Structure 1
C-alpha cells in the first residue's frame, strides 16, 4: 500500500528515461529537483508544505524511537539512514568532494556511529533512536538536502555518464561511512557499478521514497494505538 509520494514514481520513471540524454539535461535536472523537493522538508527546499512536513511536524520525540513490528526499524533510524546515504553518495561520489558529516555533526547529534546504520541490531537501533538529538538530526538532513541541490545545479550533461571512481568508494570506507561488515560493505559494490545518473536515480530519490513510505505507514500504525513491538 502506498502511504507516501503520490505521483513521484511516475516522475521518477520519466527521469530515468531522459537523465542520460545530453539534449535534455536541463529538463532532467529540473525534474530531479522537483522530485527531491518532495523528499525533504519544505524549509530546506523553499517550497510549499509537502508530505514530509505532514510526516514530521507533529511527531512526538518518543515516536521517532518506536519499532512498530518485528521487521521494522524506527523513524529516527530511517532519517539518519537516508540522510547519511545521500550525503555520502552525492558529495563523495557525484561531486567528488568531502561529505558534510564530521566530528562536529557527530557531537551535535549525540551519536557514536558514522556509517549508514545498515548493520545495527534491533537493540542498537533502539539505543540509537533514543539517544540521537532529533533536532540536530533534522538539521543535518536539511543540510544534506541543500548540498544536493547545489551539486545538481552544477552538473553538466557529460557528468551523467561518468562512472563512480574507486578512489571515492575507498574514501567512503576510510571515513567510516561504510564498514567492512557484510551488511554494510555491499553498498560500495552496489554504488561502484553505477554512473552519476545511476546514483541520482537511487540514493537521493527512489531510496528515499521507499523509506519515507515506511515512515508514514509506521506513523499511522502508532497513531492507531495498535500493538507495538518495541518502544
Structure 2
C-alpha cells in the first residue's frame, strides 16, 4: 500500500464509521469492513490478489530486523514482532470473547506451544525483560499462521452479525472472562474498562481495524529505519 492507498484506507474507515450503525447500510457496512480488514492482514488470509499493508511490512523484512529490541524510534522501543503479536492478540480476544462470545483462537489450538512463548495477555504494560524474551524466542512462522487464523475468524464473526447487533454494548460477563483468562495484565486493567464501554461497532472500528492499521504503519517505519530502506 502506497501513501495514496493508505489515505484511501483512512477515508474508507471514516465512511465505515458513519454508516455502521445504520440498519439500512448493513450490507454496505459488512462489505466495507471486509475490504478494510483484508488490507490489514497478509493477502494469504483472504486469498486476495491485492498487496496489503502486512505484505508491505513482510516484504524483504530480515529476521534480525523483525526481532530487534529495543528499537530506536520516536514513538516506540518495541520490536516489529511485538507489534504484530500485540495486534493479533487484541483482535483475537476482543472479536472472539467480546463480540462472538466464544473462545479465543489461542485456546482452540495449542498455539502457546507453537508460538514458543506463553503470554496469554495483550502485551500492554509488558516489562522490558518480557518484551526481549518474546522478541527473541517467538516462532515467527507460527505467529503468522496464528494471525491468519485470527483474521479469518474475525471475518466469519462480523459477517454473521445481525444489523441491530452493532449497537449492542459489550456484555460485562465477557469482560470477566477476559479477567479470568489473564488476557490483560493487572497493570493494564484500564483496557478492560475501555473495552467494556464500547459497542460491538466500536470494537470493529478500533481493535479489528484502526488499531491494526496504526501498529502496522509503525512497524513499517521501524523496518525502514533499521534496514535504511
- Mark yes or no: TM-score above 0.5: yes
Conserved 8 A contact 1:3-1:216:
no
TM-score (norm. length: structure 1) = 0.91
Q: How does 1:57-72 map to 2 (within 5 A)?
A: 57-66=59-68, 67-69=70-72, 71-72=76-77
2:193 paired with 1:192: no
2:12 paired with 1:11: yes
2:210 paired with 1:209: no
SS of aligned partner of 1:59:
coil
* Structure 2: gaps of 5 or more residues: none
* CA distance in structure 1 between the partners assigned to 2:105 and 2:53 by the alignment: 25
* CA distance in structure 1 between the partners assigned to 2:183 and 2:176 by the alignment: 10
TM-superposed CA distance for 1:4, in Å, is: 8.2
Q: Which has the higher contact order (CA 8 A, sep 6+)?
A: 1
TM-superposed CA distance for 1:122, in Å, is: 2.6
Runs ≥4 in structure 1, deviation > 3 angstroms? Answer: none
* Structure 1: gaps of 5 or more residues: 226-231
Conserved 8 A contact 2:65-2:227:
no
> Which residue in the other structure is 2:118 paired with?
112
TM-superposed CA distance for 1:3, in Å, is: 10
- 1:166-216 residue CA offsets vs partner (Å, 9 max, x unmatched): 1100101111211222xx211110000011001101001111111011011
> Which residue in the other structure is 2:52 paired with?
50
* CA distance in structure 1 between the partners assigned to 2:212 and 2:185 by the alignment: 21
Q: Which has the higher helix share?
A: 2
CA RMSD of aligned residues (A): 1.7
TM-score (norm. length: structure 2) = 0.92
SS of aligned partner of 1:6:
helix
* CA distance in structure 1 between the partners assigned to 2:167 and 2:123 by the alignment: 29
> Which residue in the other structure is 1:41 paired with?
42
